[in-house]
Structure 1
Amino acid sequence: MEERLGQLTRLLAEARFIDLSPTIEHNMPKWPTHPPVIVDPTVTHEHDHYYCQTLVLGEHSGAHVDVPAHIISSMMDRTVDTYPVNMLFAPAIVYDLRTLDAKPGQRITAAQILQIEEQMGDRAAEGDIVLLNFGWQQYWKLDKEWKYYATNEPGFDEDAVKLFADRKVRAVGSDTIACDTPVQDGYEMKSFGHQNYWLPNEIFIMEMLHNLDQLPTRCYFAALPLKIKNGSGSPIRPTAIIV
């Protein structure tokens, strides 16, 4: 055990860590019907002789994970606090979808995914975490333009969603606000991942990831959700570990 711990310590000391989360800050982008993110400097040195902020935010704020209870009414017993602490620790594979130039409301197909896999010489396997780089971080804004990110994104068609479900991946994450769900001008189209294939099969969904363009095709992914009682999901601090 001591030898293995030493090996792990050396590997981590030599590894490169990439933060895949946006900063949690006041009025950051959010799903339109979710609570706003409020960060208030409630307690200050000037008034109270120490500093402490108050946070008000929904469970699906910033980089976050969805679990089955979020969408599947028959799985209300599968909340975030029921899963092990390492639920989001696994090898990850990054799909660079930017070359597809997908538009809001457009669905990426299974054939396109297979073509990308052929080009990169790799493919998602059982237990992997799939990271989808749509190139959508460019639309992350904190000013009045934030709504475009929240109300427009490409997604996946049913066969593309099923492709990853059939391979029994552990989780799928993206740099968009709703992962596989096409959205155009605020109109939300059917999500086969949330409703039919991923969450019903306990394949977790992560959204609003950042810095996916900094990753190689393969890395190790680690994120810790908060242990929220009966949580439909949780903010996470996702990290890519490159060795």
Structure 2
Amino acid sequence: MWGEINMSSLATLSSIFSNSKVVDLTVLLENGIPRWPSHPHLIIDPTVNHEHDGYYCQSISMPEHCGTHVDAPHHVHADLSSLTIEQVKPDALIGTCTVIDLSDREWKPGERATLADIQQALNKSGVQIEEQDIVLLNFGWLKKYWSKGIQWKYYATNQPGLAEDVAEYMIQKKIKAFGTDTIAVGTPVNNGKEEYCYFHQRVLRKEIYLMECLVNLEQLPAKCFFIATPLKIDRGSGSPIRALAFVPQK
């Protein structure tokens, strides 16, 4: 009996995913992409090649917070030494997703979006944030400023952030994770000068994981299903992720 139920559920799950549009929310890892200014460079080297070695294999050197990635609480909280990335539950970044679109406004470096801005966007889309949601917020920042050329510095040293009332609201709603298209969730940065970040200091402390450098958020509807998993890095402060959104088709 259990086997029959299990196979039926598996078939249902397979059908749902097979009939969904998959949107890749992950930036391409390539030399020269933006990085937090104090972090090491990403280096991808074609170390072994067919002509010299008979097969192909690259070497990769990068910080844990590289490209599309997730922060573990110990990243900024010295007292949370047990909350490193390998302790994150396998399903921590899997679940129903609410998407907040703020890209219709010209955000300035160092500017903070408020809860009123969030509520206005939610009302416009006709959805609300539910407990255990994964919330993604699109400033339209990455689409405008992401570059692997000399312009990478602008994306990395300028961005809008989020106000205190937004952080408190997400804690109150008991969401699972929060992600944006900026390089540091919630942190206002203007010409390299960063201000206090309520999300890293308060939200991350509550084991609400923060995801950064998400791409293609403009392709998502207000509700979808989100899947990402971090690498299981010993004592990791964070990890690159492959972030995917599944949008059921009618």
Give the Cα–Cα distance (whole angstroms) in 2 for the partners of residues 101 and 95 of structure 1.
Answer: 15
Give the match for residue 124 of structure 1: 129
How far residue 101 of structure 1 moved from its aligned partner, in angstroms, is 2.1
The SS at the match of 2:174 is coil
Unaligned runs of 5+ in 1: none
Give the match for residue 162 of structure 2: 156
Q: How does 1:156-235 map to 2 (within 5 A)?
A: 156-196=162-202, 198-235=203-240
Q: How does 1:40-51 map to 2 (within 5 A)?
A: 40-51=45-56
How far residue 100 of structure 1 moved from its aligned partner, in angstroms, is 3.1
Please tell me whether residue 141 in structure 1 is matched to residue 147 in structure 2.
yes
Cα-to-partner distance string for 1:177-220 (whole Å, 9 max, x where unaligned): 00110000000111000012x11100000000000011111100
Give the match for residue 108 of structure 1: 113
Of the three residues 49, 59, 63, the one matched with 1:58 is 63
Give the match for residue 29 of structure 1: 34
Give the Cα–Cα distance (whole angstroms) in 1 for the partners of residues 16 and 130 of structure 2.
Answer: 24
How many residue pairs align between the two structures? 242
% identical aligned pairs: 45
Give the Cα–Cα distance (whole angstroms) in 2 for the partners of residues 208 and 180 of structure 1.
Answer: 12
Give the Cα–Cα distance (whole angstroms) in 1 for the partners of residues 78 and 138 of structure 2.
Answer: 30
Runs of 4+ in 1 over 2 A off after TM superposition: none
How far residue 106 of structure 1 moved from its aligned partner, in angstroms, is 0.4
The SS at the match of 2:74 is helix
The SS at the match of 2:97 is strand
- TM-score normalised by length of structure 1: 0.98
Cα-to-partner distance string for 1:29-70 (whole Å, 9 max, x where unaligned): 111001100000000111111100000000000000001010
RMSD of aligned residue pairs (Cα, Å):
0.8
Q: Which amino acid aligns with 1:23?
A: L
Q: Which amino acid aligns with 1:225?
A: P
Cα-to-partner distance string for 1:149-203 (whole Å, 9 max, x where unaligned): 000000111111111111111110001100110000000111000012x111000
- TM-score normalised by length of structure 2: 0.95
The SS at the match of 2:242 is coil
- Of residues 106-115 and 87-96 in structure 1, the stretch that sits farther from structure 2 once superposed is 106-115
